[in-house]
Structure 1
Amino acid sequence: MNQFLILAGRVLLAAIFVVSGFGKLTGAEGFSGFLASLGFPAPLAMAYLVGAFELLAGVAVIVGFQARIVGIALALFCVATGFLVHAGDQTVLLKNIAMAGGFLVLAGSGAGAIAVDKTARERRYA
């Protein structure tokens, strides 16, 4: 049962990044305008980079690929975007901080038994 809870937790943590990353990639022009309004350099390139990072990192968490590394990267991303983009909205800032906490738990505990990482580990030691 515990491994299914870990898998469900990974899916729930990652869902927002898969959806948001896909949206940023398909609507990069609109997102780049938002980034430009915040003063980010090369906003269109940044929009594609952020969208790709969110989508790929979200998928990696769901499938359990390099979960510890991706967990740390997403925790840092959540804190950075929380303070750089959402500092004026306490609710969204705290949501980002809470998600960072979830990703640090993932980084500390690993992806669990139902994960690509586990399958790769088993092949190495077989």
Structure 2
Amino acid sequence: MLDYDKHRDVLLLAGRVLGSLLFLIAGYNKLMKHDFYIGYFGKLGVPMPSISVPGAMVFEIVGGILLLVGYKTRSVAWMLGLYSFVAGLFAHLAWGDPNQLNHFFKNVTIFGALLAFTVAGPGTYSIDKK
């Protein structure tokens, strides 16, 4: 049986690394497929896609890096979690489509996981060291 308390900081580090990948990859994709995402955001009804896409890209990359290194982790986790929830509302809330509904609940789950970092903090293997 794993002693969770003994390995708390390593597990928090692993969670931050894995969680940050989602945002870093999403931001990178928006950078590399900028025009596609402007069209996609427009189709979803996101206001001002030509501004929203670069804003989302910067938010995801900077937020992912901050989560990864554990800087201002509690605030960053809260903001990334809320962002994931709102993104799910815009992009995936289609009650009649089981696939989109699964994606919506994926975003809700991401929010829940990031709430845990909001409460627990980043652990000692971080810039915050808490």
Q: Structure 2 length normalisation: TM-score?
A: 0.87
Residue 76 of structure 1 corresponds to: 82
Verify: 1:61 aligned to 2:72, yes or no. Answer: no
- SS of the residue 2:128 aligns to: helix
Equivalent of 1:13, from 13, 16, 19? Answer: 19
How many Å separate the matches in 1 of 2:18 and 2:78? Answer: 17
Verify: 1:96 aligned to 2:102, yes or no. Answer: no
Identity between Structure 1 and Structure 2 (%): 29
Shift in Å, 1:25? 1.8
Matches within 5 A, 1:29-68: 29-68=35-74
Residue 23 of structure 1 corresponds to: 29
Specify every segment of 5 or more residues in structure 2 that has no aligned partner in the other structure, as ranges. 1-6, 95-99
Give the conservation status (yes or no) of the 8 Å contact 1:25–1:52.
no
Query: What is the total number of aligned residue pairs between the two structures?
Result: 119
How many Å separate the matches in 2 of 1:39 and 1:96? Answer: 18
How many Å separate the matches in 2 of 1:54 and 1:7? Answer: 19
Residue 115 of structure 1 corresponds to: 126
How many Å separate the matches in 2 of 1:40 and 1:61? Answer: 25
Give the conservation status (yes or no) of the 8 Å contact 1:28–1:44.
no
Specify every segment of 5 or more residues in structure 1 that has no aligned partner in the other structure, as ranges. 122-126
Shift in Å, 1:26? 2.4
Give the conservation status (yes or no) of the 8 Å contact 2:46–2:90.
no
Shift in Å, 1:84? 1.4
Shift in Å, 1:111? 0.6
Shift in Å, 1:39? 2.1
